[in-house]
Chains A and B, each alone.
Chain A
Amino acid sequence: MNFYSVRAIYTFEMARTARTLLQSIVSPVISTSLYFVVFGAAIGSRITEIEGVSYGAFIVPGLIMLMLLTQSVSNASFGIFFPKFSGTIYELLSAPVSSFEIVLGYVGAAATKSILLGLIILATAGFFVPLQIAHPFWMLLFLVLTAVTFSLLGFIIGIWADGFEKLQLVPLLIITPLTFLGGSFYAIDMLPPFWQGVTLFNPVVYLVSGFRWSFYGISDVSLGASLTMILLFLALSLAVVSWIFKTGYRIKP
């Protein structure tokens, strides 16, 4: 393991976050706070409790998950896309680092940022709604696994994208709709039976459900199914990243 190389990439990426604090931390926190105000306080006051949990508290795990997914993808994709775009990737490719170390540096930094952001949003939520975390270990495990998995997905998107448009395409057209339709703001059984069936094909449902279970002990699908789905997705992302480095796809002609 080339410790200094991984540290260099990791600290470089973290320094970028510090430089862009407004965009990286403040902006997501403000937008999540707005969700709490609109959905939690304004609309939520008209909605009855869901399985014994107030609506404002019910949406907290889903909102954290929404930010976690979008920010993981966005951080990691930008982190690797920018060196490609500016040409500084030459240095990364000519350095004595393995593909594992490159991924560890970039994905590690992106996941760290997302986890920090998730925890900040969680703390922010505490100002708006009464919070309880029934299974703190599982909550952290889901937080870390989801951040790492979606940072890996972001890394793949960053390699695949050959322009800023494509960089935005997957987060905007796939991640955000899947999260909104993945039970962030409602329980699956609130949907008509047909859409309940359809929604089970949405992988984000399993993430939100597992994460919400760690807070309130209530879930749409079983904990095992949630865990299996996230591990499956992690394995798939790792396989794609390993293929990218093996073939040099879009980084090494």
Chain B
Amino acid sequence: MTSNLEAPLRRAERDAERVVAPPIVSVENLSKTYASGFQALKHIDLEIRRGEIFALLGPNGAGKTTLISIICGLVNASEGRVLADGFDIERDYREARSRIGLVPQELTNEAFETVWATVSFSRGLFGKPPNPEHIERVLKSLALWDKRNNKLITLSGGMKRRVLIAKALSHEPRILFLDEPTAGVDVELRREMWEVVRGLRDSGVTIILTTHYIEEAEEMADRIGVINNGEIVLVEEKRELMRKLGSKQLTLHLLHPLGEIPEALIAYHLELAADGKELIYHYDASLALDCESGDDASGITALLGDLDAAGIHFKDLHTKQSSLEEIFVSLVRGRQ
């Protein structure tokens, strides 16, 4: 019993620490207008908590990569300030950047270098003395050890992606940015990489990832930020977000098919499906049953009572919650 409770307790402790500790990345009033006049970011404020996995979601051109690029030093901000572990990314760029690792979206690498040489180069470039033991640990954790003497040009796409992660981890960063980390990676490898990312989070590294794969955010993130048209639309705990915005669907498999919805049940806005064999009811997931008063704002208790009164019986039922993808689409559409 005790061991069953340990994991959730540890998670709760870690969550509490994250909330109390000062943010590891702090973005204040950040704007970016490119020379072409395109405004990629509009007065962004964002705080990333220490040790969390933060997923930044948004459609193409929303400003995800620009935001990451500014924090990592690839793009100049037009306005605003960013602190990484308390250091200003412009004034104290050496301190700030030495704490940050970046895995870019594109598979960019020196084709004729070996895995070992390119990862060792990255460590040196970030001002760290050689540490073959650390490089070995990183390569082994990413299943690249056997390929250490291979030239990058001979590696598969998934392996090249892992090399980029190894390069970003070579200087032991506290903050890791993963820009579309599993783009073009097969399902099996994607799951392996999720495990690697979780392992990094457990070792104390804060992870900020952008992704098109909602499944990825749903699977891994502690908190979700949604960016659209250069603005942060919302930032929320993943579980809270799904609870708040996720609509639920109750499907009743009827004993006898219905031709139409009876008058008495019109108020519930029910849908008939599967030739009248299924009755579908949509309700708000955040409206839970109040156990003390017995009030059920979701309307399920009342619906079941009314169905019974109308002589409609069912042989089975199931509920389904909206995926993060559905929530994301509805959020972005809502803004447009």
- Residue numbers of A with Cβ under 8 A of B are 2, 4-5, 7-9, 11-12, 15, 19, 86-88, 90-98, 248, 252-253
Contact = CB atoms under 8 A, between A and B. Distances in A.
Interface stretch (B14-22, B93-101, B249-257, B259-267): B93-101
Contact of B97 (A7, A19, A94): A94
Nearest to A88: B108
A4 B104 contact: no
Given A5-B126, A252-B76, 7 more contacts: A2-B127, A8-B123, A9-B125, A19-B112, A86-B108, A96-B97, A96-B127
A5 B124 contact: yes
16 contacts: A4-B125, A8-B123, A15-B117, A86-B108, A88-B108, A90-B72, A90-B108, A91-B102, A94-B102, A95-B97, A96-B97, A96-B126, A97-B125, A97-B127, A252-B74, A253-B35
A93 B34 CA distance: 18
A97 B122 CA distance: 12
Nearest to A10: B124
B117 A91 contact: no
A64 B94 CA distance: 41
Contacts of A12: 121
B211 to A, nearest CB: 19
Interface string B21-37: 00000000000001100
Contacts of A90: 72, 74, 102, 104, 108
A126 B34 CA distance: 56
Question: How many interface residues does chain B have, given as a range?
Answer: 20 to 34
Given A5-B125, A94-B73, A95-B126, A88 B102 contact: no
Given A2-B127, A96-B94, A97-B125, A86 B110 contact: yes
Contacts of A19: 112
Question: What are the nearest 6 A-B pairs in CB distance?
Answer: A8-B124, A87-B108, A96-B97, A96-B94, A94-B72, A2-B127
Given A253-B34, A253-B35, A94 B74 contact: yes
B94 A2 contact: yes
Given A86-B108, A90-B102, A248 B76 contact: yes
A241 B111 CA distance: 28
Contacts of A97: 125, 127
B125 A91 contact: yes
A38 B23 CA distance: 71
Interface centre among A9, A19, A91, A248 (most CB of B within 10 A): A91
B124 A4 contact: yes
Interface of B: 34-35, 72-76, 93-98, 100, 102, 104, 106, 108-112, 117, 121-129, 167
B110 to A, nearest CB: 6
Given A15-B117, A252-B74, A95 B125 contact: yes
Contact of A5 (B74, B109, B127): B127
Contacts of B94: 2, 96, 98
A92 B125 contact: yes
Contacts of B126: 5, 95-96
Contacts of B167: 91
Contacts of A93: 72-74
Contacts of A87: 104, 106, 108
Contact of A96 (B98, B106, B109): B98
A6 to B, nearest CB: 9
B76 A253 contact: yes
B125 A8 contact: yes
A252 B112 CA distance: 26
A72 B54 CA distance: 46
Contact of A88 (B72, B73, B95, B110): B110
A91 B108 CA distance: 10
Nearest to A93: B74
Contacts of B96: 96
A242 B109 CA distance: 27
Contacts of A7: 124
A15 B111 CA distance: 14
A82 to B, nearest CB: 8
A227 to B, nearest CB: 36
Nearest to B128: A4
A141 B7 CA distance: 68
A86 B109 contact: yes
Nearest to A94: B72
A95 B104 CA distance: 14
Contacts of A86: 108-111
A94 B96 CA distance: 10
Contacts of B121: 8, 12
Contacts of B111: 86
